[in-house]
Structure 1
Amino acid sequence: MEYTISFDASLKIKKGQEKGYINHLARDVFDKENGYSLQHSNENINSKLTNENQTFVNDGNGGFKEMESIKEATDYLDKRLGTVKKKLRKDAVIARPLVIQLDKAYVEKYGESGVINGLNYAFDWVTTEFGVDNIVCASLHMDETNPHMHIMFTPVTEDGRLSQTDWFKSPATLRKQHDDLRKHMQDNDYNATNQRVTGGRKGLPITEYKMFMTMQDKITELVDRELELVDKEIALKGRKIDLDERTKELDTLALEIELKGKEKAQRVVDEAEKRAEAILRDAQQRADDIEEKAKMDAKRLRAGATALGNKTNNIANNANEMIQQSKRGRDAEMRFGDLF
């Protein structure tokens, strides 16, 4: 039995749209990381099954790892775009989402393990065709009507240009890519039909596919609208988070101001106490100096008075001695006057 395989590369992601698309692609990661599910306009999404999706991000070493955070994908995309030599235009197409889907009949026959094996074979072709370094992330969506894989491809050339036209030159190029993918799947035991099918078919059998070809534009429009709604929802939730964070910041700031006020007041008190202690010490020192000087002056005065008293006594003694000598002279003269 032949099976269809759809390959769609019609969407274009411009600067500013990448976060919304990654949130859509990696919605299982978003839900786990944020604790709530995004609202999707796609009614085929069963949010109860979203945790069964499998999402991977480029590990930067030529391989892929299980994605744990949306930031891992945005960081890798920024890093890859950082290798582009020229400044990116504001309207630059920075990514082309690729969607690969297996036939619904194949899914029903081989189940989940068959789906995983088949899409892994298809993913091998994608990394070869578009370059492993250009594959930002990929997700196996098991939460929709028919399992399929979303792949985020950023068109960076080996010589450092951002150029989607190097891979999608014309409709003929896309047809050739589809043929190459079918050949690759045939070589890996997936009996792909020669019927080319785009991702808008939603996995219907070939007999029903043509009835839905006219819906391709509407599906693309719905996806664009969903991405826009996702961006708006994230922006609203981001504002709420910002307000909550701002409130916390204001409370923290008020507490810091109060603490700083108390600290400043305490510093003023401490400084005043230090100044008072310094003034007291200085006054005490001056008092001690004055007391010491007074003692020294008193000592000098006492010494001077003692010296003066001694000198006065000496003078008095000398005067008495002179008086006595004079008296003795007069007595002698009176006594022996005739002899002289």
Structure 2
Amino acid sequence: MEHPNTGCLVREIHSGGWSAKAHRKDKRCVTGVESTSTILLDAATRAGIPALSRDNVETTLWIPAAEASIAMILPFTPMLRLLTITARLRVELNPVMTALRHVQLPQLSEVRTVSEGRESALDRLLDVLQLPALRTFRARKVSCEVHSTDALANIKVPLGLKHVFLEDSNADAIGIGRLLAVAPGLRTLSVYWESQDGLLLHSGSLGQALCAHGKNLETVRLGSVDPDEDTSGMHAPLGDLREMASLRHLALPYAVLCSDEDAGGWFERSHDYLVRVLPHSLRSLDIEHAEWSKEMTEALASVQHEGVVVRNHLDLQLLELITDARYVDLSLITVHRDDNFTCLQEAELMGWVEEPGKGRFTLRKSRADVS
């Protein structure tokens, strides 16, 4: 897309003089005097697209030709279904964003935005969220916080928007709550913070926002982009999610799933905690960063020589979960830690099998027991 021929091609398309046969024969479309940006601006003027004309974008001629080229081609892609917008600074500065306000793309169902520089406020991407056929929105480096979502209340998001994925981003409970409130058709919410600290800071109030505005959510994934970050001793639980009766798949770090009472010694933790906070509609549960705490490891070492069988507190909670008859659809549990499941014998009696893996283990309900 960076080649000057792209600019010539766009100009020929806009003027109606393009043909694939002629373009293949003549590769020398522009002279050294003409810059690609100049050709693209000329093409926009000829096509009568005011938002992409010279007067409106002349101050941003430093934008790479590839980005401008895609913006110019968009009016001729009515069947487009997937669009990826990549920006070296901020997504909202990309001319493709300008084009989206003035180009009809009735079948564009998925948009991906990738910022290689600074974060973009979600308020700056509202043109994307309002695309009539949008079904999936994926974004990297987006701010979905209280100060970057004020304008959400003033827009209408199509009911067709089903899936939102925010990666390497920052979000708080207010921002996510606002997004869910204006997108009632949302079925998947996946948010990965820049750091685990960002998630833990807001997770308590985030649980309340999910219950208040995310009752139609079927899949929730929460985490951080730093998989090696130490979260031991950090507890900020989502809390009671039982009101989320549509929730089918939940993935999050253990430090966000665990209860306040778990801040005490491992032997004091309540085995029925997960039963008390997870909805009965759950089908799969994925728990990240579930390594044994330092205190647990020391306690285990002190009693192992006495022949005492020590059960991991999380495993006891999981055993209670798979034993409860109300979780009839639950069939898959994945726990990310190096140690195997410590309650396997009891689980096998309930029709569950363990599948060990590198850095994780999976509990799966045998097919004969899956309704």
Query: Using CA pairs below 8 Å that are at least 6 residues apart, which structure has the higher relative contact order?
Result: 1
* TM-score, normalising length: structure 1: 0.22
The structure having more radius of gyration, on CA atoms, is: 1
* TM-score, normalising length: structure 2: 0.21
Which is richer in helix? 1
